[in-house]
Amino acid sequence: MLEELKQKVFEANLQLVKYNLVVLTWGNVSAIDRESGLFVIKPSGVPYDTITAEDMVVMDLNGNKVEGELNPSSDTPTHLELYRQFKDIGGIVHTHSSWACSWAQSGRDIPAYGTTHADYTNGAVPCARGLTQSEVEGEYELNTGKVIVEEFDKRGISPAECPAVLIHRHGPFTWGKDAFKAVENALILEEVAKMAYRTEAISGFADNSNIGIEPYLLDKHYQRKHGANAYYGQR
């Protein structure tokens, strides 16, 4: 069942290791087949150097395991909620990459300080609130997804324009049209998180610090790559 999608999700999970976005068994990638309403996700707690495409777990959007010998990732309910609410996404990544996690643990959005960030998203990467005690003690992973959706709704952010979020005291989630794009977005997120930290650190030594990006420059870089009349790359 969904053998081609299993292979893609397997390969995307290995990319997390290749790009140094995970250690040990941390992190997971999933992808959805919208036609069947089923998604494929990494199994829980299995080392990356031993997993196979056959180990990938098939789930439905009600949280039922449809196929697989192993337990799905413990973060599966978060993926499930994002697939249900963000109808246009096709793949999701969760990591505990160190630079993005540092911003998440600080409870801060990642500000847009330059055009590298603007090529990625049209504004700051939001840090959603931490979960309450009752949310943690209840359906923790499902509530994590609900908090992400709540944050995007509250701020009026489109998940198509910002393919990433931080959860306060937790870490990042990214998404994209498929599993590979979600991994790419996780890699870019880690880089812009690193750049933002360094920008703030360096500016702290300047008498006349001038960090930040003008709205018109931010919008230009985002639109030329992602807008209706985008002209970046080969089209």
Is residue 119 annotated as a catalytic residue, yes or no?
A: yes
What's the number of CA atoms in the CB half-sphere (13 Å) around residue 21?
29
Catalytic pick among 119, 140, 197, 219: 119
Catalytic pick among 60, 88, 153, 232: 232
User: Token pair for residue 111?
Assistant: 């500000």
Is residue 231 annotated as a catalytic residue, yes or no?
A: no
Active-site residue numbers? 119, 232
